[in-house]
């Protein structure tokens, strides 16, 4: 079990170095620099709360003070969309609203686009949001370090922006039929199923299950809870792999078992396929829009 205290940053590393280390392309950070202290102090980047490299990685700056230790896991919960909304109004700070919105968009981009998540843990004097006299005083970061472990977006509510990030790669919260096949195969009886004929990237299946957040993407019903508490849904390639459908998150839907069978055998299976294709097309469009929004452009 990892102690929360081991995450407390001890060094005051440069954001530039940490972002670069985590896989963010710092080319524009250098190219757009106008600060005489050099590109590492580029104000376009160095005060940002998140960095998104489309198709590659999302980096979040998270306060050590806001992390929790729960059931052996390190988590952070919050809502940057609500945070952004709180910066509207007469005393609101535009740049904080922009940064909070960008962070909320980056969470969505990570979820929809299945991007790895890295965290820069920051420590120092955090802005006091509760005291109206001090709530416009900026936070002061004194220490920051890149967490060597990747994180997982374990919950995100598209409607409200509420999120939960958990340290580590967490896959067991949501399971599908292939996880169950794995379990069956590791037991004494070997079970061969036709569904294992094509290779399916487990990362894609897991990303789709996380995106669905336990609800069938066709009917909205919650998948059933298994004995260990994980939620079960089935992953379905909308254009079958046999028909050269892609094994990516924009061709896979998470469905309740009943809808999954319907997608294969129902009289109106073609309608179901069209409905799912429309849903995935919409997600692809959202993903493209997010790509535009999350890049640090102003
Ligand atoms: Zn369903």
What pLDDT was estimated at residue 255? 98
What pLDDT was estimated at residue 246? 95
The reply to whether 100 and 78 lie within a common domain is yes
Parallel, antiparallel, or unpaired for β 117-125 and 140-146? antiparallel
What pLDDT was estimated at residue 133? 67
What pLDDT was estimated at residue 296? 59
Q: Which of 80, 88, 77 is nearest to 104 (CA)?
A: 80
Q: Cα of 249 to ligand 1 centre, how many Å?
A: 18
The reply to whether 154 and 211 lie within a common domain is no
The reply to whether 158 and 189 lie within a common domain is no
Reading the block at residue 281, the tokens are 């097309």
Question: Of 170, 188, 209, which residue sits at a domain end?
Answer: 170
Domain holding 207, by residue range, is 174-287
DSSP class per residue in the chain? ---GGGGS--SB--HHHHHHHTT---HHHHHT---TT-GGG-HHHHT-SEEEETTTEEEEEEEGGG-EEETTEEEEEEEHHHHHHHT-STT--HHHHHHHHHHHHHHHHHHHHT--EEEEEEEEE---SS-TTTTTSPPEEEEEEE-SS-EEEEEE-TTT-EEEEEES---TTEE-HHHHHHHHHHSSS----GGGGS---HHHHHHHHHHHTTB-TTT-PBPEE-TTSPEE-EEEESS-GGGT---STTSEEEE-HHHHHHHHH-TTHHHHHHHHHHHHHHHHHHHHHHHHHHS---
pLDDT digits (tens, 9 = 90+) for 11-20: 988 999 999 9
Q: Cα of 173 to ligand 1 centre, how many Å?
A: 19
Angle, helices 94-113/202-212, rounded to nearest 10 degrees: 130
Q: Cα of 255 to ligand 1 centre, how many Å?
A: 5
Contact of 219 with 256, CB cutoff 8 Å: yes
Q: Cα of 258 to ligand 1 centre, how many Å?
A: 6
Q: Cα of 256 to ligand 1 centre, how many Å?
A: 4
The reply to whether 31 and 151 lie within a common domain is yes
What pLDDT was estimated at residue 146? 95
- 298 located within any domain: no
Where the chain has pLDDT below 50, the residues are 190-191
What pLDDT was estimated at residue 7? 93
What pLDDT was estimated at residue 134? 66
What pLDDT was estimated at residue 291? 81
The reply to whether 160 and 27 lie within a common domain is yes
Q: Cα of 219 to ligand 1 centre, how many Å?
A: 4
Q: How many domains does the chain have?
A: 2
Give Cα separations from 72 to 53, 112, 168, 169 (angstroms). 30, 27, 11, 14
Question: Of 141, 170, 199, which residue sits at a domain end?
Answer: 170
Question: Of 150, 170, 190, which residue sits at a domain end?
Answer: 170
The reply to whether 164 and 184 lie within a common domain is no
The reply to whether 119 and 244 lie within a common domain is no
Q: Cα of 160 to ligand 1 centre, how many Å?
A: 23
- 161 located within any domain: yes
Q: Cα of 257 to ligand 1 centre, how many Å?
A: 7
What pLDDT was estimated at residue 13? 86
Q: Cα of 218 to ligand 1 centre, how many Å?
A: 5
Q: Cα of 215 to ligand 1 centre, how many Å?
A: 8
Q: Cα of 274 to ligand 1 centre, how many Å?
A: 15
């Amino acid at each position: 079990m990892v102690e929360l205290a081991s995450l407390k940053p001890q060094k005051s590393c440069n954001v530039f170095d940490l972002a670069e280390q985590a896989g963010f392309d710092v080319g524009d950070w250098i190219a757009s620099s106008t600060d005489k202290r050099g590109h590492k102090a580029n104000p376009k980047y160095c005060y940002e709360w998140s960095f998104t490299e489309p198709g590659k990685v999302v980096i979040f700056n998270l306060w050590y003070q806001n992390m929790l230790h729960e059931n052996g896991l390190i988590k952070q919960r919050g809502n940057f969309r609500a945070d952004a909304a709180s910066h509207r109004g007469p005393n609101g700070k535009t740049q904080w609203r922009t940064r909070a919105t960008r962070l909320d968009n980056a969470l969505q981009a990570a979820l929809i686009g299945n991007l790895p998540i890295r965290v820069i843990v920051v420590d120092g004097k955090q802005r006091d949001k509760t005291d109206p006299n001090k709530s416009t005083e900026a936070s002061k970061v004194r220490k920051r370090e890149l967490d060597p472990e990747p994180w997982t977006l374990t919950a995100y509510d598209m409607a409200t922006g509420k999120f939960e990030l958990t340290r580590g790669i967490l896959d067991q919260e949501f399971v599908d039929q292939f996880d169950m096949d794995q379990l069956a195969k590791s037991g004494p009886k070997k079970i061969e199923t036709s569904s294992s004929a094509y290779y399916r990237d487990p990362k894609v299946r897991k990303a789709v299950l996380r995106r669905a957040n336990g609800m069938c993407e066709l009917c909205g019903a919650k998948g059933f809870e298994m004995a260990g508490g994980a939620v079960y849904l089935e992953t379905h390639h909308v254009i079958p792999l046999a028909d050269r459908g892609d094994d990516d998150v924009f061709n896979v839907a998470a469905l309740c078992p009943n809808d999954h069978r319907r997608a294969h055998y129902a009289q109106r299976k073609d309608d179901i396929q069209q409905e799912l294709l429309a849903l995935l097309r919409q997600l692809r469009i959202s993903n493209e829009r997010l790509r535009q929004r999350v890049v640090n452009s102003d």
